């Protein structure tokens, strides 16, 4: 994803979708490949239904690990790329790069971060080039390529309280002023990191709207957004013996199991679907779900509770 060729291949690859009614059944290998990709929900669109966001020059997507931030970010990038191609036509859009995706390296200095921007578009960086020279080449090339959206992931890795972190934050501010693009940032719980502190943090916070990918609520007023999410995911399954409505009925269990994190939920259902294909059952049950180990955060949330509950039951 961190090069233009890689991101373009991602953006132009058709979304994984279940077969339409009446279509010939897909073979096992095709369905295994489908559930391995299984991008069932455009996460940011769902989040947007439950949170009002005003139009601002930039956007910050934040939340805990496993909340689906990167998935949301990439889907925004895909949508922007495809919209640009539809608007201008494939021929006219040739040579233009509407979207850039940059991953902040650990302990990034301003020069290494500038080099990541250069690497995305294949801008040559000689060993003796200064940060200013690399930045100048980046701004010139990004402007010439008509980059409209710059997505910067893992932004929480920047710490403006350190010298290198402060210089990196200054570099991003410089780039936002010299490249005529919208900047979207994504990171883990950025509001609790040093990124929003001090003068530099105030500048960033003052220019950006915040979308919080917090745990999805089981209930929001009269609606049940987590159950709706599960229903959408179940509708995308390609399993021959799965009974519709099984997963929505397990919504309380699934919310507890995943702590309401979209990333954990998607991973759980995806792995359960693959298991159902391999073992030949072609359906997902609670037993199937229970046999799957999730990410550490989800397991830490769920397992201690179940062990405590089991001990209480045996004692009583």
Same domain, 193 and 246: no
How many domains does one find in the chain? 2
Instruction: Name the strands in the sheet holding 58-63, side by side, starting at the edge strand that comes first in the sequence.
Output: 99-103, 149-153, 182-188, 58-63, 208-212
Same domain, 200 and 116: yes
Q: Is residue 152 part of a domain?
A: yes
The CA angle 69-75-76, to the nearest 5 degrees, is 90
**Distance (Å, rounded) from C-alpha 153 to C-alpha 2?**
10
Same domain, 153 and 231: no
Q: Is residue 313 part of a domain?
A: no
The CA angle 44-50-52, to the nearest 5 degrees, is 85
**Distance (Å, rounded) from C-alpha 250 to C-alpha 241?**
17
Same domain, 66 and 95: yes
- 52-82: pLDDT as tens digits: 443 335 788 888 776 778 877 888 888 888 8
Same domain, 249 and 205: no
Same domain, 258 and 167: no
- 207-235: pLDDT as tens digits: 777 777 777 778 888 888 889 889 988 88
- pLDDT, position 46: 42
CB distance 157 to 190 below 8 Å: no
Q: Where are the alpha helices (DSSP H) in the chain?
A: 4-12, 28-37, 43-49, 69-88, 90-93, 110-120, 131-144, 163-178, 198-207, 225-235, 246-249, 251-258, 262-278, 286-290, 296-315
Judged against a pLDDT cut of 70, whether residue 301 lies above it is answered with no
Q: Is residue 301 part of a domain?
A: no
Same domain, 110 and 156: yes
- Pairwise pLDDT comparison (41 vs 151), residue with the higher score: 151
Q: Is residue 311 part of a domain?
A: no
Same domain, 45 and 184: yes
- 255-291: pLDDT as tens digits: 988 888 877 888 889 899 999 999 999 999 999 999 8
User: What's the CATH number where 93 sits?
Assistant: 3.40.50.300
Structural domain span for residue 77: 4-18+25-212
CB distance 68 to 267 below 8 Å: no
Nearest to 274 by CA among 19, 17, 34, 16: 34
Same domain, 206 and 266: no
Other beta carbons less than 10 A from residue 7's beta carbon: 21
Same domain, 153 and 240: no
- Percent with pLDDT over 90 in the chain: 34
- Pair type for strands 182-188 and 149-153: parallel
Question: Is the overall model pTM greater than 0.75, yes or no?
Answer: no
């Amino acid at each position: 994803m961190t090069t233009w060729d890689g991101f373009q291949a991602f953006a132009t690859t058709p979304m994984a979708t279940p077969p339409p009614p009446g279509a010939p059944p897909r073979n096992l290998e095709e369905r295994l490949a489908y559930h391995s990709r299984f991008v069932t929900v455009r996460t940011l669109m769902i989040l947007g239904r439950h949170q009002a966001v005003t139009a601002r020059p930039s956007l910050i997507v934040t939340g805990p690990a496993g909340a689906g931030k990167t998935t949301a970010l990439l889907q925004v990038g895909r949508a922007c790329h495809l919209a640009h191609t539809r608007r201008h036509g494939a021929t006219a859009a040739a040579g233009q790069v509407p979207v850039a995706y940059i991953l902040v390296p650990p302990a990034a200095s301003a020069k290494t971060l500038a080099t990541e921007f250069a690497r995305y578009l294949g801008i040559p960086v000689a060993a003796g080039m200064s940060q200013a020279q690399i930045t100048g080449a980046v701004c010139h090339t990004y402007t010439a390529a008509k980059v409209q959206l710059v997505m910067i992931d893992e932004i929480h890795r920047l710490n403006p309280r350190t010298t290198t972190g402060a210089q990196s934050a200054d570099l991003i501010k410089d780039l936002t002023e010299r490249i005529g693009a919208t900047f979207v940032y994504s990171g883990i719980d950025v509001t609790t990191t040093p990124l929003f502190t001090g003068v530099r943090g105030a500048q960033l916070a003052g220019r950006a709207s915040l979308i919080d990918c917090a745990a999805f609520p089981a209930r929001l007023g009269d609606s049940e957004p987590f159950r709706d999410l599960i229903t959408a995911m179940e509708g995308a399954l390609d399993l021959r013996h799965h009974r519709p409505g099984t997963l929505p009925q397990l919504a309380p269990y699934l919310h507890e199991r995943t702590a309401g994190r979209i990333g954990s939920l998607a991973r759980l259902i995806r792995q359960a679907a693959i298991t159902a294909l391999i073992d030949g059952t072609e359906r997902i049950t609670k037993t199937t779900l229970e046999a799957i180990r999730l990410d550490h955060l989800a397991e830490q949330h769920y397992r201690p509770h179940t062990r405590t509950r089991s001990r209480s039951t045996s004692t009583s």
